[in-house]
Structure 1
């Protein structure tokens, strides 16, 4: 349908029922007819914990801002440090971690194909022999591969003589634990009263109270993202939120620069011909919006509606995230960036920034507590980053 005008709550009700907008065009996929089922997904930012891959992206950005240029390898938007099989196996975990409306049968069929392609990609079949260092246990020599994702398992192995841990020795301990134990014993020996004597005449360390709970809690997303930079940092990154519909003064002032980045992004990343990403197409797709401007007293300071999040690096725009701020969520519409900075994994980084932005808005408006990433299409490789995000 064509939406000439929508209140924020109207679109919130639609988006909760599987609708999305592209400019002023609002649509909902017919799941039993479309060739690529599109599943609505959303994230709970208040419970979100960054993964190891997320931390790598944030640390890479921090290193770039602090020291300057970093190695520009073959980087994609999604962190690719995991094996293909790990990503495929994580599809089932995705169903539990996200609010996802999905057809399990369709996903299961897609997973089988993904697993088969993963085996071919790595150049090894399920019957490849184990390395010489390992000998398969006799009881596990039967066929382990049945074609089902749930049947994929590692072969139990036993080390050859001279390999592996020495069972005659005590298990290894972390160096941190050993240092704490040494410090504890040193404090006991330096005590004026000396070590306490037990009933058996043996030395006992005095009780220092109940063991303290571990205080080394994992760093939050904000701690990792907004870690303080030194004064002599090589670069400065700033994120500005500007209203795109109706266009604010700052949006109008940066329109040409923003459009040129979009044009280069479409041509280099999506291989569009030079005459396709026109200014009118850009305006219709990412600037025009049916959402009305609303600034209720109990809402966020910026109000509800459509916005562009501009990522400014050293005084110039390098990326733009198109978002809608609604009564219950922040909806991510699109992201485009300068291809020269693709080595910074801006797709993942911007999603993390938008999650942090949602948490910031939640502090102003308690009911705003979700982050929508649009549709997830399992068979589309360009959508895989949405799975790796969570």
Structure 2
């Protein structure tokens, strides 16, 4: 495949059989995966991100459906982002939180929070019930560019963990889990805002938010981070809400 800098990588991919779509009712999905035997270097990761791939554990994947192209990769333009009034309130409510960037190694404290979050917020989803094996395979990968960020309150209690990857041109928001009892904090929103602030401090131009589907309510929150770019026909272009 060709990358944005015209270098050629000899990469192998495989396609899954059709399976139920996780986001659209009555739709079947197929997924394209990078052959896991090849491994994911930083250079390959950067190149695949530019053409719409995401990471889950050790796997790089992209939707590859025959009759549907609803899943669109989106990223926020960091330098132009201005938090809304509601987002500013979220930042203010979480001023007391401290944070620490860590390698993606296993922590029982992290897993207990993850299990609590999945059981409370996603009991009807395909990630339920949570398990330690699932947690490890999904979020823990032995790569320098993969990190976990802890957020703790002033008493030292762990309230949220964000998994993110550092790319050449930005941060990729992989997943965030948090204490479901801390509803007032809007910790999912706060984690994205924190990553936007971090990307700005690192002078990285983008924060990648994964896939967006116009008709999926679970993904509508991504429109709140503007200006947003969307990948259409292998070209990044400014997203329009119209």
Q: How many residues align?
A: 190
- For the 8 Å contact 1:348–1:389, the answer to whether it is kept is no
Separation (CA, whole Å) in 2 of partners of 1:306 and 1:33: 33
Partner of 2:182: 341
Report the alpha carbon displacement of residue 272 of structure 1 after superposing the two structures with TM: 5.1
- Partner residue of 1:360 out of 201, 204, 207: 201
Q: Secondary structure at the match of 1:347?
A: helix
RMSD across aligned positions (CA) = 2.0
Separation (CA, whole Å) in 2 of partners of 1:41 and 1:3: 24
Separation (CA, whole Å) in 2 of partners of 1:44 and 1:23: 26
Partner of 2:81: 48
- Partner residue of 1:14 out of 39, 43, 48: 48
Determine if the alignment matches structure 1 residue 262 to structure 2 residue 114: yes
- For the 8 Å contact 1:266–1:272, the answer to whether it is kept is no
Partner of 2:21: none
Separation (CA, whole Å) in 1 of partners of 2:205 and 2:88: 22
Report the alpha carbon displacement of residue 270 of structure 1 after superposing the two structures with TM: 0.8
Partner of 1:23: 57
Q: Secondary structure at the match of 2:119?
A: helix
Partner of 1:277: 130
Aligned pairs for 1:130-149 within 5 A: none
Separation (CA, whole Å) in 2 of partners of 1:53 and 1:356: 16
Separation (CA, whole Å) in 2 of partners of 1:256 and 1:61: 24
Report the alpha carbon displacement of residue 275 of structure 1 after superposing the two structures with TM: 7.1
- For the 8 Å contact 1:31–1:38, the answer to whether it is kept is no
Higher relative contact order (CA 8 A, sep 6+): 1
Separation (CA, whole Å) in 2 of partners of 1:268 and 1:329: 31
Partner of 1:61: 94
- For the 8 Å contact 2:122–2:128, the answer to whether it is kept is no
Separation (CA, whole Å) in 2 of partners of 1:260 and 1:378: 33
Report the alpha carbon displacement of residue 317 of structure 1 after superposing the two structures with TM: 1.2
Determine if the alignment matches structure 1 residue 309 to structure 2 residue 162: no
Determine if the alignment matches structure 1 residue 323 to structure 2 residue 183: no
Separation (CA, whole Å) in 2 of partners of 1:38 and 1:341: 30
Q: Give CA-to-partner distance per residue, 1:201-251, whole Å, 9 cap, x none.
A: xxxxxxxxxxxxxxxxxxxxxxxxxxxxxxxxxxxx21110011xx3xxxx
Separation (CA, whole Å) in 2 of partners of 1:319 and 1:241: 12
- Partner residue of 1:287 out of 127, 140, 165: 140
Separation (CA, whole Å) in 2 of partners of 1:31 and 1:49: 35
Q: TM-score, normalised by structure 2?
A: 0.73
Q: Give CA-to-partner distance per residue, 1:306-360, whole Å, 9 cap, x none.
A: 0001101121211011100111110000010011112211111110000001111
Determine if the alignment matches structure 1 residue 377 to structure 2 residue 213: yes
Determine if the alignment matches structure 1 residue 242 to structure 2 residue 102: yes
Report the alpha carbon displacement of residue 276 of structure 1 after superposing the two structures with TM: 2.1
Separation (CA, whole Å) in 2 of partners of 1:384 and 1:328: 24
- For the 8 Å contact 1:319–1:338, the answer to whether it is kept is yes
- For the 8 Å contact 1:241–1:308, the answer to whether it is kept is yes
Higher helix share: 1
